[in-house]
């Protein structure tokens, strides 16, 4: 059954990216300059620092139909905000634990750390994350059939 | 709702063939009655500024959603056009349609178009919820407090005074000079320490821009960058000072190596500093000297190299060879640290002068022989691996600099950070000599063991940084940004709903949050001058009481819901 | 100044959960679940958790009000009681006692209901007394009384968890009886099969092993098909049917016309599913049938209940601990109100008014002449208001919102000579009253409620009524005395003894016996521990009776002009007419306004998006509400909750009545939807 | 029980407490919570069944004058909960007196409680803790094939009737308003409550404060094993930072500190700090 759903899935997995404007954000821009081809199925919400990403927003995103959420922060030790990203990482990693508990899978929340110049890293992260999520079962049972499922099944 | 205008930049056709902007424009017009949409060839040229400004005025726009390139939001032209139309900074939200969309999805125009549409709807949704932080500002008090009148402090004080900034120079000791008062010569120039600081001391005495407070220490600190209120306690009671900036140059202490190499037991075993004092008194009458490096340094309990001991040993060993007839000097070391061209030369010179070097292993250090006085030293030569015994009269221990014991109290007073060894740490990685508190700078050995001239360099550097703050006439919270441009906002608390749990207080990397009592309950308060808008507090606030208006949770929620309609 | 904790009973649904009110300085500040309570065992639904919020609401009535033109004037109790007595007697003298009608209340205690019906019957010699049970479970009382001999839930809520197959018909328990739903889930955790029969994909349906989304109003075909299949495949409980049932042969012949094929065709359920369901239920060791408004609120409601009883008895799923028939009663004390004889055809304890012995007993006890003619029902009284019915005494009911085709109801109410409304808030109905009497809410009085499992439970006073308001018991006593009816009992406890003396089933009930866990009737004597489940060895009526349910389609079906099925019901955050829940700030924040559920595909065709304003119209009226796009409703169906006065779903509903029980058809009518440009 | 009563009586007689929050036995052995103020009533004080008082104690203290001292009969979980509440400035320790009661062996077993006793014990014998992994149901919900687990949890949470009981019963949840009531985070007025947001936001807000008292799942009418959501996070905090909520009133939660400020926590940078992907093409 799940197998079926996975096969029938035509559209690419949806990814929400929270990108720190000092690394991930710039990395994305530089990926553009280098014209690196990246799947178009991700949307970026720029943030001041990874520390600004509320765990609740991760859940909200998954519940609103995203297949995965990526948080791009600066290298550990390279934070512009006095290592605020350390605390953020500890926090978000607990979110992974919770996602694992429920079987949704902590891998649906990607934490990656780079610097502004790592444009290839940015491209690679998105590509690999897209591949990975493509192989995951859909989150339908969690996002509640009432909103999405019926439309898909009937029309 | 405020009238919103959408500006789409064609970037001179860069996006053509990838993103169907016209289709998107129609879609926007259809779905949002309150917005008008404009496609423009460019948004970032000087000549655009006025055209767009006028257009926004005539539209009566209160908010602008711009679809342009990654760098677009930083373009001065765009900001100018907003200013021309009298639109707040917070009235703009941009979507990166070029690098972040067109250029990375060239192979997939439909996808790129879809994404561009979503990004714009996200931006509009965010703009609807975006708010502006209330800014606060204060007059800058153009005076500087320099803590510690050692080489670093003196250099800072003098150069600030030279810039016409009144300086309060607070010193724990009776007279200025710090460590330079205790040593006879400085390396590598071998000049008399006195001659190095006399000009500075003269300046302190004569220059009426510098007020010197001997035998004084800081007892209270209030205020913020631009206007600190500091209480100091001196021989004649306490007094209050005001200063726009503070430079901490309290230097370091010296380790007394009790129990090491029979120090304290045999009076012929002395420290480098004692030897310096001896030189000041006159030429010592012993002949055969041994210098033992890293006495108490680079050890588990003090896992750092304090960098000044090797050069000092070289200096004193050479003096033994030169000034004491028949003097002999041997340096027992683990490795000699003489970075930079000058010190390398200094090292070679000492060898030419006949100073002997014997390397030993950390695990079997030299042993001092003799009953009631030093007679010889036994050491296993790490290079040759064989043991040898040398007769001698004097043993000089090179001990490291250690953090001042009052660093801890200063940390409490100024709410600074100490590194794991107890020295003051600066905000890594991009802000040398700065601390996590704006307007408070560190220089000299208080920050890290350095030689006197390095300390002076740092003093000057800190002075220049302080000057940057003191030359402004007003300082506003939003301007106190560690990053290019203004702060995007700052933490703002809804007092009514704050539960006073204190999460924000524990997490804030800049100690900007604090709890205050309001009719029997606790409420968080943000010091806007300290806040750097990293958002740590926002993401740990259990019920969304803490928000950055320019990036509040309603915006995030709205964007998430619009991300993939 | 200190905190008191008062154990009492939840005022909302018929589950009768136990809750503890924390009272500080005479204010109920918090509700806590009662961990020691036999039914709820420390569980509550959201309404229960916030039951304290409306108690001290500023809108509470604090003094008797007399209408003057279109305004109200506060008056003293003396004046109010005198006025009521004078106007009612006058009317009775002018038009005869049968011109007076009384709507008692399923929200009030047993004692109050007893006094109320005694007052109406005693003072005016009429049986025109009824209450909202008419609008929820009238068919249950009629049908179950006929086929089993007792119109109440056969077993206890706790027994549900022992069933290994639970068949839910037309019940959205997850929203309407959440704590009972919890009991069902406990059974599921124990391996039981949950089967939900409901046109909507309710929360319960979502979690059911099998969900049969039948066409609205086709329960009878479905059940008949099941029974047919069960008998054909010999899965019915032969011995049980043989020993304890009668009318099996007639039943068989009746089922002759109900082939599985036809059943499937009529109900829109695939044959395979229908057969499978029948087999699962028949094979079950302990099978329970749970049903609610989806069954009863039809023009063929009584027949629907007959069908379910037949099904259960056919499989022998009655008279055992884990089996049984579970009508989920709506109001907290609807069971009690019926027990206390707030019905036009029976005295307390279901003793028929046309049974001479019974009448004689009550005549002696009350010392008043009593009518032998069954009275009018709620819907009839309202419908004939201003005609045969000249004066109405309504205690804590709100027909202006709860009854079908309210437009018509409002006309009727306004055409009365005299209307007394006794309530805690100025309800939509009270606005039409000539006299409004301020009553007390659940936290302000003592007495007993009887929950859906026939359990008498003690209600304890936690706080005082606001201002001049009084508990309904004493109001009734005063009014009774003013009308010359003698009320010997000075407090509810004594009233309970009076009741016990008159109704055998409650003979063993005393307040002091209810302290810990209450008592389930029948409880014939003071030693009797109460009855956990009925019909153990013999049915109350002797043998169980198969009654052939004759099938009638809903009175109104979708057509070109009104293409949608509309059904009404409740949502989890609000209760009934919202008089209390919409004044609980928390509950009101959970669901602030009215809405109508519509299927995504229908929405797409009408270009509707979540939250759009829509007008829903039927042949009787129309309301404006917001669209909620969801797969819960089937294509071509709408669902509208009826809690919201600003969009009264009952402007739309069809007042067509069930011939036997007189219940209106709330659950099915034809409607159309139009989008309103914002 | 006697020892508990004696201490309670003492506190009231010696005026060391103005009230005792505990259970009172009424007529027909009915048990209900009660604030004892008169030493004479203490004879009716009982300790069974298990009844959690932390939240009620907090609410009572909040609406009482500042000098009001309330003694509470606490079990292990109550004790820990009050520590966390004090840490978050919801109660002031100086207004509290603890009368410690250790749970019986059966109670400990029934809760799979890892620490079935308070810091200081006045009544009952401390029983050894029992790992929650001994609970068959919980283990199957935490371990094994994730796709399977994902389905099971979705089904379990799909039962939610949105009674807010888990939140209302939780001794730690004190926010007004609460994010669960905000339509930005959780859709309003629909059942079941949005599984992911409603339950995971709730669970995560307690990640570093949950004292594993199980009040949430005891209050759940549809028997969702809510405590199981918490356990893995509690374990993670224990392994990584040696932190357990409710034990130490001084130590702040490690996830509120960065590694430099809490070195012992930061020393071993967990392996999830992946350098990411630096391929070059």
Q: Is the pLDDT score of B517 beyond 60? A: yes
Contacts of D176 in chain B (CB under 8 A): 497, 499, 543
SS3 state of residue C45: coil
Closest CA to B491 of B552, B437, B415, B417: B552
Closest CA to C341 of C106, C90, C650, C130: C130
CATH code of the domain occupying C65-135+333-446+462-488: 3.40.50.740
What pLDDT does A153 receive?
38
What pLDDT does B31 receive?
86
- Give the torsion through C-alpha atoms of D252, D258, D264, D266, to 10 deg: 140
Region for D148 from its dihedrals, namely left if φ exceeds 0, alpha if ψ lies in -120 to 50, beta otherwise: alpha
C-alpha distances (whole Å) from B162 to each of B154, B201, B460 are 12, 14, 11
Do the chains contact at D263 and B420, CB–CB below 8 Å? Answer: yes
Q: What is the mean pLDDT of chain C?
A: 93
Which of A90, A108, A129 to mutate: most D Cβ within 10 Å? A90
Do the chains contact at A32 and B427, CB–CB below 8 Å? Answer: no
Q: Is the pLDDT score of C499 beyond 80? A: yes
- Give the torsion through C-alpha atoms of B475, B481, B482, B483, to 10 deg: -140
- Taking only the tens place, the pLDDT of each residue in A17-65 is 999 988 888 888 889 999 999 999 999 999 999 999 999 999 999 999 8
Q: State the Cα–Cα distance between residues C273 and C261, nearest whole angstrom.
A: 12
| CATH class in words for B492-547 | alpha beta
Q: Going by C-beta distance under 8 Å and a sequence separation of 6 or more, which residues neighbour residue B505?
A: B513, B514, B515, B524
For residue A70, the cross-strand partners are: A17, A110
Q: What is the mean pLDDT of chain B?
A: 91
Contacts of C29 in chain D (CB under 8 A): 59, 63
- Say which residue the tokens 């224990």 belong to: D238
Do the chains contact at D32 and C515, CB–CB below 8 Å? Answer: no
Is the CB of residue B515 less than 8 Å away from at least one CB of chain D? yes
Architecture per CATH, domain B144-253+403-475, reads as 3-Layer(bba) Sandwich (3.50)
Do the chains contact at C630 and A146, CB–CB below 8 Å? Answer: yes
Q: State the Cα–Cα distance between residues A48 and B233, nearest whole angstrom.
A: 42
- pLDDT band of A6, cuts 50, 70, 90: very low
Q: State the Cα–Cα distance between residues C205 and C188, nearest whole angstrom.
A: 13
For residue B514, the cross-strand partners are: B525
What pLDDT does A144 receive?
59
Do the chains contact at B507 and D257, CB–CB below 8 Å? Answer: yes
- pLDDT band of D263, cuts 50, 70, 90: low
Determine the average pLDDT of the residues in C22-33: 94
Residue of C nearest to D158 (CA): C207
Lookup: tokens for D263 = 């070195």
Is the CB of residue D89 less than 8 Å away from at least one CB of chain B? yes
Chain C from 493 to 512: CB within 8 A of any D CB: 512
Given the DSSP bridges, would you call strands C418-423 and C435-438 parallel, antiparallel or unpaired? Answer: parallel
Determine the average pLDDT of the residues in C433-447: 95
Q: State the Cα–Cα distance between residues C128 and C121, nearest whole angstrom.
A: 8
Is the CB of residue B30 less than 8 Å away from at least one CB of chain A? no
Q: Going by C-beta distance under 8 Å and a sequence separation of 6 or more, which residues neighbour residue B379?
A: B332, B358, B360, B366, B367, B387, B388, B389, B390
What pLDDT does A5 receive?
45
Per the CB < 8 A criterion, the answer to whether C371 and C353 are in contact is yes
Q: Going by C-beta distance under 8 Å and a sequence separation of 6 or more, which residues neighbour residue B200?
A: B151, B154, B155, B158, B176
CATH code of the domain occupying A2-154: 3.40.50
Q: State the Cα–Cα distance between residues B113 and B97, nearest whole angstrom.
A: 9
Domain boundaries in chain C? 3-49, 65-135+333-446+462-488, 138-327, 564-675
Q: State the Cα–Cα distance between residues D167 and C492, nearest whole angstrom.
A: 37
What pLDDT does D262 receive?
61
Is the CB of residue C206 less than 8 Å away from at least one CB of chain A? yes
Domain boundaries in chain D? 2-130, 134-266
- pLDDT band of B5, cuts 50, 70, 90: very high
What pLDDT does B39 receive?
93
Per the CB < 8 A criterion, the answer to whether A53 and A46 are in contact is no
Do the chains contact at D184 and B509, CB–CB below 8 Å? Answer: no
Given the DSSP bridges, would you call strands B492-493 and B546-547 parallel, antiparallel or unpaired? Answer: antiparallel
To the nearest whole Å, the CA of A63 is away from the closest chain D CA by 6
Burial environment of residue D92 by CB neighbours within 10 A (0 to 12, 13 to 18, 19 or more)? exposed
Q: Is the pLDDT score of C238 beyond 90? A: yes
Share of chain B above pLDDT 90, in %: 69
Domain boundaries in chain B? 4-133+556-563, 144-253+403-475, 257-399, 492-547
Strands annotated E in A21-136: 42-47, 68-74, 109-114
- Taking only the tens place, the pLDDT of each residue in B286-324 is 999 999 999 999 998 898 999 999 999 999 999 999 999
Stated pTM of the model: 0.90
Q: Is the pLDDT score of C296 beyond 90? A: yes
Per the CB < 8 A criterion, the answer to whether C453 and C156 are in contact is yes
Q: State the Cα–Cα distance between residues C207 and C201, nearest whole angstrom.
A: 10
Residue of A nearest to C600 (CA): A151
The closest CB to that of C182, out of D31, D59, D223, belongs to D223
Q: Going by C-beta distance under 8 Å and a sequence separation of 6 or more, which residues neighbour residue C228?
A: C255, C258, C259, C260, C263
* The residue count for chain C: 678
Is the CB of residue B534 less than 8 Å away from at least one CB of chain A? yes
Per the CB < 8 A criterion, the answer to whether D96 and D57 are in contact is yes
- Taking only the tens place, the pLDDT of each residue in C401-428 is 888 888 899 999 999 999 999 999 999 9
What pLDDT does D264 receive?
54
Chain D from 7 to 66: CB within 8 A of any B CB: 66
Strands annotated E in B256-343: 269-271, 288-292, 328-333
Is the CB of residue A37 less than 8 Å away from at least one CB of chain B? yes
SS3 state of residue B356: strand
Q: Is the pLDDT score of A155 beyond 60? A: no
Q: State the Cα–Cα distance between residues C172 and D29, nearest whole angstrom.
A: 36
- Taking only the tens place, the pLDDT of each residue in A59-116 is 999 999 899 999 999 887 788 888 888 889 889 999 999 999 999 999 999 998 877 6
Burial environment of residue B363 by CB neighbours within 10 A (0 to 12, 13 to 18, 19 or more)? exposed
Do the chains contact at B104 and A41, CB–CB below 8 Å? Answer: no
Overall fold of domain C564-675 = Barwin-like endoglucanases (2.40.40)
Per the CB < 8 A criterion, the answer to whether B394 and B270 are in contact is yes
Q: State the Cα–Cα distance between residues C65 and C482, nearest whole angstrom.
A: 18
Determine the average pLDDT of the residues in B348-353: 94
To the nearest whole Å, the CA of C199 is away from the closest chain A CA by 15
Contacts of A31 in chain B (CB under 8 A): 99, 104
- pLDDT band of B406, cuts 50, 70, 90: confident
Burial environment of residue B508 by CB neighbours within 10 A (0 to 12, 13 to 18, 19 or more)? buried
Share of chain A above pLDDT 70, in %: 85
Residue of A nearest to D148 (CA): A103
To the nearest whole Å, the CA of A111 is away from the closest chain D CA by 8
Burial environment of residue B509 by CB neighbours within 10 A (0 to 12, 13 to 18, 19 or more)? buried
Determine the average pLDDT of the residues in B387-410: 92
The closest CB to that of C206, out of D31, D158, D165, belongs to D158
Closest CA to B150 of B228, B247, B278, B234: B247
Lookup: tokens for C59 = 């809108």
Is the CB of residue B542 less than 8 Å away from at least one CB of chain A? no
For residue C13, the cross-strand partners are: C331
Per the CB < 8 A criterion, the answer to whether D142 and D164 are in contact is no
Residue of A nearest to C628 (CA): A147
HSE, CB side, 13 Å, CA atoms: give it for residue A96.
Answer: 19
- Taking only the tens place, the pLDDT of each residue in B418-443 is 888 889 988 766 788 998 888 999 99
CATH code of the domain occupying C138-327: 3.40.228.10
CATH code of the domain occupying B4-133+556-563: 3.40.50
Closest CA to C307 of C226, C208, C194, C200: C226
Chains in contact with D, where contact requires at least 3 CB pairs less than 8 Å apart: A, B, C
- Taking only the tens place, the pLDDT of each residue in C349-393 is 999 999 999 999 999 999 999 999 999 999 999 999 988 999 999
The closest CB to that of A142, out of D196, D273, D275, belongs to D196
Q: Going by C-beta distance under 8 Å and a sequence separation of 6 or more, which residues neighbour residue D106?
A: none
Lookup: tokens for B288 = 């055969």
Closest CA to C393 of C159, C108, C72: C108
Q: State the Cα–Cα distance between residues C433 and B214, nearest whole angstrom.
A: 90
Contacts of D249 in chain B (CB under 8 A): none
First CA to last CA distance, chain A:
19
Do the chains contact at D274 and A112, CB–CB below 8 Å? Answer: yes
Closest CA to B245 of B386, B74, B108, B440: B440
- Taking only the tens place, the pLDDT of each residue in C250-270 is 999 999 999 999 999 999 999
What pLDDT does C107 receive?
93
Q: Is the pLDDT score of A3 beyond 60? A: no
Residue of D nearest to C514 (CA): D28
- Taking only the tens place, the pLDDT of each residue in C510-569 is 999 998 889 998 999 999 999 999 998 899 989 999 999 999 999 999 999 999 999 999
Q: CB B278: neighbour CB atoms within 10 A?
A: 18
SS3 state of residue A31: helix
Whether domain B257-399 has CATH 3.30.465.10: no
Name which residue leads in pLDDT, B309 or A9: B309
What pLDDT does D16 receive?
93
Lookup: tokens for B531 = 């806040």
Per the CB < 8 A criterion, the answer to whether C665 and C656 are in contact is yes
- Domain C3-49 is classified in which CATH homologous superfamily? ADC-like domains (2.20.25.90)
Which residue numbers of A have CB closer than 8 Å to C's CBs? 145-147, 149-151, 154-155
Compute CA B84 distance to the chain's CA centroid, rounded to the nearest angstrom: 37
Contacts of D60 in chain C (CB under 8 A): 3
Closest CA to C535 of C382, C314, C313, C338: C313
HSE, CB side, 13 Å, CA atoms: give it for residue C317.
Answer: 33
Lookup: tokens for D228 = 């199981």
HSE, CB side, 13 Å, CA atoms: give it for residue C185.
Answer: 26
Chain C from 143 to 172: CB within 8 A of any D CB: none
Compute CA B486 distance to the chain's CA centroid, rounded to the nearest angstrom: 19
Compute CA B400 distance to the chain's CA centroid, rounded to the nearest angstrom: 24
Lookup: tokens for A140 = 């339908």
ipTM of the complex model:
0.89
Q: What is the mean pLDDT of chain D?
A: 88
Determine the average pLDDT of the residues in C79-83: 95
Chain B from 355 to 414: CB within 8 A of any A CB: none
């Amino acid at each position: 059954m799940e197998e079926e759903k996975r096969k029938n899935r035509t559209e690419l997995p949806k990814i929400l990216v929270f990108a720190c404007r000092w690394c991930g954000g710039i990395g994305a821009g530089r990926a553009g300059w280098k014209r690196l081809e990246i799947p178009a199925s991700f949307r970026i919400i720029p943030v001041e620092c990874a520390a600004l990403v509320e765990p609740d927003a991760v859940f909200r995103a998954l519940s609103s139909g995203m297949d995965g959420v990526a948080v791009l922060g600066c290298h550990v030790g390279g934070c512009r905000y006095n290592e605020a990203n350390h605390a953020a990482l500890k926090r978000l990693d607990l979110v992974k634990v919770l996602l694992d508990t429920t079987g949704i899978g902590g891998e649906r929340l990607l934490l990656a750390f780079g610097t502004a110049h790592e444009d290839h890293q940015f491209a690679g992260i998105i590509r690999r994350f897209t591949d990975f999520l493509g192989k995951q079962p859909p989150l339908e049972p969690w996002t509640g059939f009432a909103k999405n499922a019926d439309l898909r099944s009937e029309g | 709702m405020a009238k919103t205008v959408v500006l789409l930049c064609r970037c001179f056709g860069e996006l053509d063939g990838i993103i169907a902007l016209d289709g998107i424009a129609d879609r926007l017009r259809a779905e949002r009655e309150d917005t008008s949409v404009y496609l423009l060839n460019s948004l970032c040229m000087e000549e655009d500024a006025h055209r767009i400004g006028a257009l926004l005025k005539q539209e009566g726009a209160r908010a602008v959603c711009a679809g342009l390139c990654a760098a677009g939001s930083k373009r001065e032209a765009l900001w100018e056009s907003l200013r021309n139309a009298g639109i707040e900074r917070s009235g703009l939200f941009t979507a990166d349609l070029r690098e972040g969309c067109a250029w990375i999805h060239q192979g997939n125009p439909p996808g790129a178009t879809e994404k561009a549409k979503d990004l714009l709807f996200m931006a509009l949704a965010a703009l609807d919820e975006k708010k502006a932080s209330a800014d606060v500002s204060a007059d800058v008090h153009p005076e500087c407090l320099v803590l510690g009148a050692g080489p670093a402090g003196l250099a800072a004080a003098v150069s600030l005074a030279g810039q016409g900034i009144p300086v309060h120079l607070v010193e724990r000791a009776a007279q200025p000079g710090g460590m330079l008062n205790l040593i006879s010569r400085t390396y590598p120039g071998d000049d008399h320490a006195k001659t190095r600081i006399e000009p500075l001391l003269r300046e302190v005495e004569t220059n009426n821009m510098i007020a010197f407070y001997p035998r004084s220490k800081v007892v209270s600190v209030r205020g913020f960058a631009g206007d600190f209120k500091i209480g100091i306690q001196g021989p004649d009671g306490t007094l209050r000072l005001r200063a726009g900036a503070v430079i901490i140059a309290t230097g370091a202490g010296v380790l007394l190596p009790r129990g090491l190499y029979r120090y304290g037991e045999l009076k012929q075993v002395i420290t480098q500093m004692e030897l310096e004092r001896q030189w000041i008194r006159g030429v010592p009458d012993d002949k055969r000297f041994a210098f033992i490096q890293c006495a108490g340094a680079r050890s588990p309990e003090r896992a750092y190299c304090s960098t000044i001991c090797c050069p000092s040993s070289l200096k004193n060993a050479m003096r033994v060879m030169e000034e004491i007839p028949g003097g002999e000097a041997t340096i027992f070391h683990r490795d000699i640290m003489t970075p930079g061209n000058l010190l390398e030369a200094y090292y070679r010179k000492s060898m030419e002068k006949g100073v002997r070097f014997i390397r030993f292993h950390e695990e079997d250090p030299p042993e001092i022989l003799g009953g009631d006085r030093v007679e010889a030293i036994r050491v296993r030569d790490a290079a040759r691996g064989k043991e040898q015994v040398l007769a001698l009269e004097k043993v000089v221990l090179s001990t490291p600099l250690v953090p001042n014991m009052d660093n801890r109290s200063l940390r409490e007073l100024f709410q600074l950070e100490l590194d794991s060894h107890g020295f003051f740490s600066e905000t890594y990685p991009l802000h040398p000599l700065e601390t996590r508190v704006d307007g408070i700078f560190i220089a000299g050995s208080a920050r890290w063991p350095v030689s006197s001239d390095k300390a002076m360099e740092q003093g000057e550097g800190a002075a220049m940084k302080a000057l940057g703050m003191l030359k402004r006439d007003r300082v506003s919270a939003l301007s106190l940004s560690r990053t290019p441009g203004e702060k995007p906002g700052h933490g703002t608390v809804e007092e009514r709903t704050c539960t006073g749990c204190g999460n924000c207080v524990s997490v804030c990397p800049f100690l900007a949050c604090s709890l205050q009592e309001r009719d029997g309950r606790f409420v968080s308060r943000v010091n806007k001058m300290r806040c750097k808008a990293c958002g740590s507090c926002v993401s740990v606030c259990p019920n969304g009481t803490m928000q950055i208006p320019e990036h509040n949770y309603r915006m995030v929620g709205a964007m998430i819901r619009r991300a993939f309609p | 100044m200190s905190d008191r904790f008062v154990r009492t009973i939840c005022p909302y649904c018929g589950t009768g959960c136990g809750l503890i009110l924390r009272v500080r300085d005479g204010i109920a500040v918090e509700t806590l679940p009662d961990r020691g309570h036999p039914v709820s065992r420390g569980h509550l639904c959201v309404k229960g958790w916030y039951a304290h919020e409306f108690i001290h609401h500023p809108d509470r009535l604090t003094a008797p009000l007399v209408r003057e033109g279109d305004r109200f004037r506060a008056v003293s109790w003396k004046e109010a009681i005198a006025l009521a007595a004078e106007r009612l007697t006058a009317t009775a003298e002018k038009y005869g006692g049968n011109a007076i009608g009384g709507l008692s209340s399923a929200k009030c205690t047993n004692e109050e209901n007893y006094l109320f019906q005694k007052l109406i019957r005693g003072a005016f010699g009429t049986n025109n007394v009824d209450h909202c049970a008419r609008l929820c479970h009238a068919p249950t009382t009629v049908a179950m009384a006929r086929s089993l001999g007792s119109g109440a839930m056969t077993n206890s809520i706790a027994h549900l968890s022992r069933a290994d197959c639970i068949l839910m018909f037309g019940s959205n328990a997850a929203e309407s009886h959440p704590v009972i739903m919890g009991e069902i889930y406990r059974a599921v955790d124990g391996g039981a099969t949950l089967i939900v029969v409901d046109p909507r994909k309710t929360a319960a349906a979502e979690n059911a092993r099998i969900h049969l989304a039948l066409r609205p109003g086709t329960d009878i075909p479905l059940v008949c098909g099941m029974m047919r299949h069960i008998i054909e495949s010999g899965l019915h409980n032969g011995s049980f049917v043989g020993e304890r049932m009668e009318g099996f042969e007639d039943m068989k012949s009746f089922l002759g016309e109900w082939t599985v094929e036809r059943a499937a065709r009529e109900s829109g359920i695939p044959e395979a599913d229908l057969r499978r369901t029948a087999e699962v239920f028949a094979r079950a060791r302990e099978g329970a049938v749970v049903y609610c408004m989806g069954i009863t609120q039809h023009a063929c409601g009584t027949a629907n209940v007959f069908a379910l009883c037949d099904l259960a008895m056919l499989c022998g799923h009655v008279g055992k601990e884990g089996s049984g028939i579970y009508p989920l009663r709506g109001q907290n004390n609807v069971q009690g109100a019926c027990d206390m004889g707030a019905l036009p055809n029976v005295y307390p304890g279901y003793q028929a008014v046309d049974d001479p012995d019974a009448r004689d007993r009550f005549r002696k006890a009350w010392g008043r002449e009593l009518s032998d003619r069954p009275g009018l029902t709620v819907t009839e009284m309202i419908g004939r208001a201003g005609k045969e019915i000249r004066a109405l005494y309504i205690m804590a009911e709100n027909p202006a919102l709860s009854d079908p085709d309210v437009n018509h109801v409002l006309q009727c109410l306004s055409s009365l000579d005299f209307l007394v409304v006794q309530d805690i808030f100025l309800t939509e109905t009270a606005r039409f009253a000539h006299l409004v009497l301020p009553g007390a809410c659940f936290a302000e009085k003592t007495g007993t409620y009887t929950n859906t499992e026939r359990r008498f439970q003690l209600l304890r006073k936690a706080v005082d009524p606001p201002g001049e308001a009084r508990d309904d018991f004493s109001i009734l006593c005063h009014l009774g005395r003013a009308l010359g009816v003698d009320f010997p009992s000075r407090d509810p406890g004594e009233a309970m003894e009076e009741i016990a003396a008159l109704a055998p089933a409650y003979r063993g009930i005393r307040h002091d016996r209810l302290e810990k866990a209450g008592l389930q009737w029948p409880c014939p004597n003071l030693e009797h521990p109460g009855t956990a489940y009925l019909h153990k060895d013999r049915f109350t009526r002797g043998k169980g009776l198969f009654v052939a349910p004759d099938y009638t389609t809903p009175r109104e079906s979708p057509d070109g002009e009104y293409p949608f099925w509309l059904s009404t019901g409740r949502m989890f955050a609000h209760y009934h007419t919202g008089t209390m829940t919409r004044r609980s700030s928390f509950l009101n924040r959970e669901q602030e306004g009215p809405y109508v559920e519509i299927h995504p595909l229908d929405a797409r065709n009408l270009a509707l998006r979540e939250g759009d304003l829509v007008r829903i119209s039927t042949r009787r009226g129309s309301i404006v509400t917001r669209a909620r796009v969801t797969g819960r409703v089937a294509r071509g169906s709408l669902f509208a909750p009826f809690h919201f006065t600003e969009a009264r779903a009952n402007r739309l509903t069809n007042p067509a009545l069930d011939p036997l029980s007189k219940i209106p058809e709330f659950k099915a009518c034809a409607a159309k939807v139009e989008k309103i440009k914002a | 029980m006697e020892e508990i009563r004696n201490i309670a009586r003492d506190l009231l007689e010696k005026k060391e407490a103005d009230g005792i929050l505990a259970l009172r036995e009424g007529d027909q052995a009915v048990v209900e919570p009660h604030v004892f103020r008169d030493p004479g009533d203490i004879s009716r004080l009982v300790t069974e069944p298990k009844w959690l008082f932390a939240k009620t104690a907090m609410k009572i203290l909040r609406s009482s004058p500042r000098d009001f001292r309330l003694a509470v009969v606490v079990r292990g979980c109550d004790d820990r909960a009050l520590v966390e509440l004090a840490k978050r400035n919801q109660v002031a320790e100086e207004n509290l007196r603890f009368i410690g009661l250790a749970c019986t062996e059966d109670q400990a077993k029934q809760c799979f409680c890892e620490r079935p006793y308070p810091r200081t014990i006045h009544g009952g014998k401390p029983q050894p803790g029992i790992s929650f992994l001994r609970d068959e149901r919980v283990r199957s919900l935490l371990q094994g094939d994730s796709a399977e687990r994902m389905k099971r949890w979705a089904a379990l949470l799909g039962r939610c009737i949105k009674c807010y009981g888990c939140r209302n019963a939780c001794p730690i949840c004190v926010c007004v308003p609460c994010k669960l009531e905000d339509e930005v985070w959780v859709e309003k007025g629909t059942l079941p409550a949005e599984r992911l947001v409603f339950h995971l936001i709730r669970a995560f807000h307690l990640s570093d404060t949950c004292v594993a008292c199980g009040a949430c799942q005891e209050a759940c009418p549809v028997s969702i094993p809510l405590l199981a959501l918490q356990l893995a996070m509690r374990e993670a905090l224990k392994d990584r930072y040696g932190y357990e909520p409710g034990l130490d009133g001084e130590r702040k939660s490690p996830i509120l500190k960065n590694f430099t400020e809490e070195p012992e926590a930061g020393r071993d940078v967990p392996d999830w700090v992946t350098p990411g992907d630096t391929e070059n093409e």
